[in-house]
Amino acid sequence: MRLIVAEKPSLARAIAAALPTPAVRREGYLEAGDTCVSWCLGHLLEQAPPEAYDPRYQQWRLDDLPIVPSRWQLVPRPQARGQIAVLRKLLKRATSVVHAGDPDREGQLLVQEVLDHLGWRGPLQRLLVQDLNRPAVAKALARLEDNQRYQPLFAAAEARSRADWLYGINLTRAWTLIGRQAGYDGLLSVGRVQTPVLGLVVRRDREIAAFEPYPFYPLWVDLAVAAGELRAWWLPDESQPLDAQGRLLDPRPAQALAARLPGSQGRLATLEQRRKRQAAPLPYSLSALQVDAARRFGLSAKRVLDVCQALYERHQLITYPRSDCRYLPAAHHAEAARTLASACQHDATLTQWVQGADFGRRSKAWDDAKVGAHHALAPSGRPADLARLSRDEANLFRLIARNVLAQFYPPLETFETQALFEILDERFQAKGREIIEPGWKPLFTTRDDVPTLPTLHQGEAARVLGAEVESRETRPPEPFNDASLIKAMMNIARYVDDPAVKRTLRETDGLGTEATRAGIIETLLTRGYLVREAKALRASRTGHALIDSLPPAASQPERTALWEQRLTSIAEGNAAAQPFVDALLADLRQLLGQASAGKLDQALKAARQGAAPDAPKATRGKRQTAKRGGGQSRRRTASKGKPRTRRAKGSSS
């Protein structure tokens, strides 16, 4: 008997439906002839809690840290025991097994760790399913691979799991214990991803709080030229009082010039014009979709992930959503006309876009070299009746379909002009743009914020019709929201000062993964370290105090982003896992050595006196599950222990 083990029931059903023999449902699996298809429920196993290694760890003591298992143990999650029993029985009957976890690092781990735990040593193949429609699954079943090829991916996922446990358990225990000494009765959770994300928000909040606005004074002129009128802006030279952005800080020079300008004659000194072609935005990765959906529809990152999972699993309308890739396999290009026509047939707008597409066109999105375990989000080809979907489901499906359809439209072609006028020995600049070929642009917007300019000729005369000095004020940075925080996590190199580290981080995926970023934000909200103020995300008083009490290295993005880079190197077979864990332990001991109750006490007092918001009452003092961080927060003395830690698939500390 061949046993196929899927990551979740929805994938198991899709696999069974693609088999040549109709499947019969059994308890915990589907049977189709000589093939049985069963499933995991996310992670069936979790890292054993500290007390499983030594009963003394039931009590939290600083003297026991760091806790480092000599031989790692996994234990069944309580709600997973029944399914583990089903898999154990099926493995006893099996002659071969197919690993059908999701095509990513975590998917490789959660099925393989169960097979290893249950002692399977027979033939093991790997099935990679990108979308759940029957033809796609049938093709995947026809090209099974040897699971041995994916051992580096498993090694990286296992190292990540163990490292998260080491980091989260030890630092959370340390800071919670010194928190008690400082008079804080609650869990202080520290994680290798969540804490740097919190640090980003704390530092942004402080930039805003410390910001002191100042006025600046732009001067514009309205000019008459041969072909019409336009507006140009004064470019003061360095002899004037300017800030770093070239803004005038003293109104008097502008006012004196404005008084002399009306009726003055000048000339077009420099004219730069070029025709520009802009390709359509690429199809979405999950994070890119989360950013756009937050801006357009105000959806949280978690809501976008949940809706995409529904579109993928329940409705089977899109391909695998937890993807960090924005490219599509070359083989999908030939099927795109049929797939998109089928997927979009029930929506008038999408149908119109399909009819306007040139499916013979091939954009840079079709690139096998840039497709890894995942490809970009795309319609599966199953007809989407948007009237039967929720509003959020329909909106996100339209975005996903639109970005793929845009690949079959011409580039946006514009004629860009930059004109530099000389008037009264001063320079004035005007910029304009004319759309020549809208291409893909109407699928996204019909608005163009850049003005057009009349036809201009080098050296032509210009007469000043009027001039005015405006009084403006600098503005503080915007607080983070879901869109900007996800984008910051994606592009973390922007928040790093060290040039060498910045160059390195540009090659990584940033903080967290496509699957975990939404969960990280929600975890920080649940634990009361972040609060929502309308659409803004702000750090709470506790969040500020936690960041202030930690060594800077624990709240900066460099450590965890470089961590992800090392894990990628392991996943690609270019590095071993043990040196990564050894380096982590060295860092961990150094961080634990800097735990200070006095410093935390000062940070808590400063936070209470600051302007940061307090966490909502529903969150403060709440009994919270701290993933990989040590269980629930409850009133206890320093000698009391804590319940076991639980970990969900894809979560990050």
Catalytic residue (choose from 150, 184, 312, 320) = 320
Between CA 54 and CA 69 the distance in angstroms is 9
320 is catalytic: yes
Whether residue 176 contacts residue 598, with contact meaning beta carbons closer than 8 Å, is answered with: no
DSSP string, 107-133: HHHHHHHHHHHTT--S-EEE---S--S
Burial label for 222, CB within 10 Å (0-12, 13-18, 19+), is middle
Give the distance from CA 81 to its chain's centroid: 33
Give the distance from CA 583 to its chain's centroid: 26
Quick one: which of 472, 468, 433 has its CA closest to 232? Answer: 468
Between CA 287 and CA 527 the distance in angstroms is 23
What is the CB-side half-sphere exposure of residue 174 using CA atoms within 13 A?
26
Quick one: which of 522, 617, 613 has its CA closest to 208? Answer: 613
Whether residue 87 contacts residue 114, with contact meaning beta carbons closer than 8 Å, is answered with: yes
Whether residue 188 contacts residue 175, with contact meaning beta carbons closer than 8 Å, is answered with: yes
Beta strand segments in 298-446, E: 412-423, 426-437
Beta strand 145-146 with 124-126: parallel, antiparallel or unpaired? antiparallel
Instruction: Please report which helix (H) or strand (E) contains residue 30, including its range.
Output: strand 29-32
For tokens 């410390």, what's the residue?
210
For tokens 């781990």, what's the residue?
109
Instruction: Please report which helix (H) or strand (E) contains residue 543, including its range.
Output: helix 541-549
Residues annotated as catalytic are: 320
